[in-house]
């Protein structure tokens, strides 16, 4: 009986362990469709901070370009989104995206969902939780999906205890309050999109297919 229980526990343990995947295995549609151009959709903001949407929107352009994609300027596309009633991206998250292919010529649309965006001034932390979803404008399928829960450490060491610790606590509160929301957004992008397969304009294009893929949910504390 004990042997049967032991074998059952071993089987359960092995089943619960996730096997490592390559980029090609985790994101097969990226390598099949080979998108070259991306339109950044206005972020879907699920937090109480209304300004998070506009701040985060501006941080997505550069990391996608650095990954080797042609990215339509957020400033130019925003006007089109507003005219076409596409500013509320949640209306298109599960809908037909062919209009973005016809109007812009984009191969894919990057959606982001801001789930958490808050700061702890005393503790010296900025918390950001964002999910990234890249969908094809041609087939509608999801090409890439990953979520990042990033804690940005803004604490400052005042040196020693007593008065030094008090100075550090005050400095941390000021530094956290003053840290631009854009900084937190950039750090979140850097961690999450590091797992995005490289585009045509990158020297890593199709060379990263056999590289190890990261987890669908990444958690990190960064300075």
Q: Where are the domains of the chain?
A: 20-117+128-147+184-209
Half-sphere exposure in the Cβ direction for 183 (13 Å, CA): 16
Q: Which residue has the higher pLDDT, 156 or 97?
A: 97
Q: Which of 121-125, 130-134, 153-157 has the highest mean pLDDT?
A: 130-134
Convert the pLDDT of each residue in 176-187 to its tens digit.
Answer: 444 556 777 888
Range 5-10 average pLDDT: 38
pLDDT for the residue 124: 66
Q: Is the pLDDT confidence value at 198 over 90?
A: yes
20-117+128-147+184-209: what fold? Rossmann fold (3.40.50)
pLDDT for the residue 204: 96
**Which pTM was predicted?**
0.80
């Amino acid at each position: 009986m004990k042997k049967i229980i032991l074998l059952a526990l071993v089987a359960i343990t092995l089943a619960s362990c996730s096997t490592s995947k390559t980029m090609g295995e985790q994101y097969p549609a990226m390598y099949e469709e080979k998108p070259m151009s991306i339109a950044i959709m206005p972020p879907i903001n699920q937090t109480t901070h209304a300004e998070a949407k506009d701040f985060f929107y501006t941080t997505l352009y550069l990391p996608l370009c650095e990954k080797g994609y042609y990215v339509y300027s957020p400033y130019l596309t925003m006007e089109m989104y507003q005219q076409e009633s596409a500013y509320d991206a949640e209306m298109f998250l599960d809908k037909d995206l062919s209009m973005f292919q016809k109007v812009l010529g984009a191969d894919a649309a990057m959606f982001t969902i801001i789930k958490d965006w808050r700061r702890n001034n005393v503790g010296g932390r900025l918390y950001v939780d964002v999910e990234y979803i890249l969908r094809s404008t041609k087939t509608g399928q999801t090409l890439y999906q990953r979520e990042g829960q990033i804690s940005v450490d803004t604490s400052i060491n005042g040196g020693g205890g007593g008065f030094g610790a008090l100075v550090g606590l005050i400095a941390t509160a000021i530094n956290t309050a003053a840290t631009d929301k854009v900084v937190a957004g950039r750090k979140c992008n850097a961690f999450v999109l590091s797992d995005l397969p490289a585009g045509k304009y990158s020297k890593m294009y199709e060379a990263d297919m056999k590289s190890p893929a990261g987890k669908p949910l990444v958690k990190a504390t960064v300075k």
